[in-house]
Amino acid sequence: MTVYIDPPEWPGHGRMWSHLISDSSLRELHEFAADIGLPRRAFDRDHYDVPAESHAAAVRRGAVEVGSREVVRRLHAAGLRRRRRSPQAPAGPAAPADRG
């Protein structure tokens, strides 16, 4: 498994944020996030929102720095991308909870 992180360039709640993803397993992503002290509430469908001040800790722990588009591309390639459902969209099959 490889974990990837994009630059902290996403504003929100008075801070800048990165996205932390896995290329193979949500289970391993959760373990990695716990190792660097991210709370489970920072998980959003298929990634963790990482405050800028935690970015360096993720990289020191082994997260590979990539651009934001690469994060999305790797989520799709791994089959782990989960989109938000619109209120008008019919309910479809649930996405797998883990791929690894």
- Residue 24 is predicted with a pLDDT of 87
SS3 content of the chain, % helix, strand, coil (to 5): 35, 25, 45
**What's the maximum distance between 2 C-alpha atoms anywhere in the chain?**
42
Higher pLDDT, 75 or 15: 15
Q: If you search the block for the tokens 């994060």, which residue do you land on?
A: 71
- Residue 87 is predicted with a pLDDT of 58
- Residue 51 is predicted with a pLDDT of 97
* Cβ atoms < 10 Å from Cβ of 61: 13
Could you report the per-residue pLDDT of 45-100, keeping only the tens digit for each? 899 999 999 999 999 999 999 999 999 899 888 777 766 655 565 554 444 444 44
Per-domain residue ranges of the chain: 3-78
Fill in the DSSP letter of residue 41: G
- Residue 78 is predicted with a pLDDT of 78
Rounded distance, CA 52 to CA 49, Å?
10
